[in-house]
Structure 1
Amino acid sequence: MTAPRTVLLTGAAGGLGTLMRELLPPYGYRLRLFDQRPVETIENAGNAGNAGNAAGEAEVITAELADREALGEAVRGVDAIVHFAGISLEAPFEKILRANIEGTYHLYEAAREAGVRRIVFASSNHAVGFTPRPADGSGAIGVDTPRRPDTYYGLSKGFGEDLASLYWDLHGIETVSVRIGSCCPEPTTVRMLSTWLSPADAARLLHAALTAPDVGHTVVYGSSANTRLWWDLSSARALGYEPRDDAEPYAAALLAAQGELDDDNPEHAHLGGSFCTDPPQWPH
């Protein structure tokens, strides 16, 4: 599959969407931006544009996923979709249902109607959050580990993966579901030494997911090449993903400030970290 010319980026005003608005265009993508909140473009923010197209030059659609007319306009003519839209933390089930479950269904229906053949779905490590934490650096947790969501949020990501599988089997829409770890400029907790996905590696992974041939429905973990990595990245590497970053340079300072992970601490015992507490705590 050649690199898509136009990619719809949902959730473009969110944290990850904002990062990818700058990092994806240099790979040759022209972005169409979709969010229920106004998107502050690079042009409006006063920054220089990137190669390929500046986010300030991108088409912007401000609407909710429940707006079927606006969503139909958003997907029309695009070559692929990167779906980040939705609630990214725990919330009451009714809100998760509307934004993450019904919203993702609306997106897939719009893609089917428009003939879009490739979607990259932002799943989450929280779909398997109650899986016990392995020894640091073992890389033992594969994508075939049973799903054990740690929140309604994690539950919604499991639904999204299954919906993607259904639309591949039923309608031939290919999806790469990325179980994103902790995507931020630098790790801020000891847990993130294992789960960190640098923004630059996130863009590399998305590019691989958008361009790899014959993905059907593929599930991958989204992480950098961390020394303390918990997850098996082989399915991501099979797409052509080659992570270049490692959280280890941040380890000494974080360990000195926070100490080692302790399995007797409920925030440390499972993959989902503080999401596995009642009530869930933040950050990712």
Structure 2
Amino acid sequence: MPRTILLTGAAGGVGTLLRELLPGHGYRLRPADLHPIDGAEDAVVFDLRDAAAVRAAVRGVDAVVHLGGISVEDSFANILGSNIEGLHHLYEAVRLEGVRRVVFASSNHAVGFTPLTGGGLIGSDVPPRPDTFYGLSKVFGEGLASLYADKYGVETVSIRIGSCVARPCSPRMLATWLSPADCARLVHAGLSAPGVGHTVVNGISANTRAWWDLSSARALGYEPQDDAEVYAAEIIAEHGELDPDSPEARLLGGCFTTVEPPL
């Protein structure tokens, strides 16, 4: 099992949570981000658009957990540089340095236009239906991971993350929540499961109101322990139930399906 992990995007919301939780699963982290990370003197600072810097950051690690890049909708030019070209730099660095495992933070927004009205849980095998340029970059990332698995033997688990925050704060998150502890469990499964090739999994907790099927994640050894339902009464009292006519209730990507990129 890989032990020394390059954690990109370590200053972000999910990255900050995993910096605290992954060492408990036996990993030594090399945190990395575009900007210095408070309290992490051993952090590596680099830009994903700089191929040489990316390769230097990858050198000597056993695996990569890639959270880096732009995590919201942005102009296509910005998404192209960080999320598409930057990800290619990362996979080239991984290939050249002989790293054999990546856990890639994909997103529900890679399939955001998937309707929620078809009945049954949504599997991880649904076709791409990105809802934004950001979601499109995650479709590219899953495709790139598939290519590098088949052509070069670099194995990847792509996690279509729902809403990874300390606690759910909206009716939508009662379905999409991925607790920090379950996120760490899922990343650990992605790092330690044998023979994954390129595997796409849905990233949520064991939510009573889940829209997603977790079969492919459970096949890796993921056993979620948390359920957003413990927050349901409080959230519904404050916000009410989802409006059935709203994008939040009709489409997996929710309001991202209506977002326009900045000029």
Q: CA deviation at 1:239?
A: 0.4
Q: Is the 8 A contact 1:61 1:70 kept in 2?
A: no
- The correspondence for 1:103, drawn from 82, 86, 90, is 86
Distance 1:198 1:268 in 2: 21
1:74 aligns with 2:72: no
Letter in 1 for 2:233: A
> 2:9 is matched with which residue?
11
> 2:257 is matched with which residue?
276
1:245 aligns with 2:220: no
Distance 1:263 1:92 in 2: 30
Distance 2:53 2:156 in 1: 22
Q: Mapping of 1:180-195 within 5 angstroms?
A: 180-195=161-176
Q: CA deviation at 1:111?
A: 0.4
Q: Is the 8 A contact 2:172 2:248 kept in 1?
A: no
Q: 1:23-49 deviations in whole A, cap 9, x for unaligned?
A: 0011111111111111112xxxxxxxx
1:29 aligns with 2:43: no
1:142 aligns with 2:123: yes
Q: 1:211-265 deviations in whole A, cap 9, x for unaligned?
A: 0000000000000000001101000000000000000011111112222222312
- Alignment RMSD (CA, Å): 1.5
Distance 2:102 2:143 in 1: 14
Q: CA deviation at 1:99?
A: 0.7
Q: Is the 8 A contact 1:120 1:210 kept in 2?
A: yes
Secondary structure of residue in 2 paired with 1:99:
helix
> 1:179 is matched with which residue?
160
1:117 aligns with 2:92: no
With 141-150 and 113-122 compared, the bigger mean Cα shift is at: 141-150
Q: Is the 8 A contact 1:36 1:64 kept in 2?
A: yes
Q: CA deviation at 1:73?
A: 1.4
Q: Is the 8 A contact 1:267 1:276 kept in 2?
A: no
With 263-272 and 245-254 compared, the bigger mean Cα shift is at: 263-272
Secondary structure of residue in 1 paired with 2:175:
helix
Secondary structure of residue in 2 paired with 1:103:
helix
Normalised to the residue count of structure 1, the TM-score between the two structures is: 0.89
Distance 1:210 1:97 in 2: 27
Q: Report percent identity of matched pairs.
A: 66
> 1:157 is matched with which residue?
138
With 254-263 and 163-172 compared, the bigger mean Cα shift is at: 254-263
Q: Which runs of 5+ in 2 are unaligned?
A: none
Letter in 1 for 2:242: L
**Matched residues, number:** 262
Distance 1:108 1:139 in 2: 35
Secondary structure of residue in 1 paired with 2:142:
helix
- The correspondence for 2:237, drawn from 256, 267, 281, is 256
1:130 aligns with 2:113: yes
Q: CA deviation at 1:266?
A: 2.8
Moved over 6 A (4+): none
- The correspondence for 2:36, drawn from 35, 38, 43, is 38
Q: Is the 8 A contact 1:65 1:99 kept in 2?
A: yes
Normalised to the residue count of structure 2, the TM-score between the two structures is: 0.96
Q: Which runs of 5+ in 1 are unaligned?
A: 42-55
> 1:52 is matched with which residue?
none
Q: Is the 8 A contact 1:268 1:274 kept in 2?
A: no
1:228 aligns with 2:226: no
> 1:46 is matched with which residue?
none
Q: 1:160-219 deviations in whole A, cap 9, x for unaligned?
A: 000000001110100000000000000011000000000000000000100000000000
Secondary structure of residue in 2 paired with 1:250:
helix
Q: CA deviation at 1:268?
A: 2.6
Q: CA deviation at 1:278?
A: 4.0
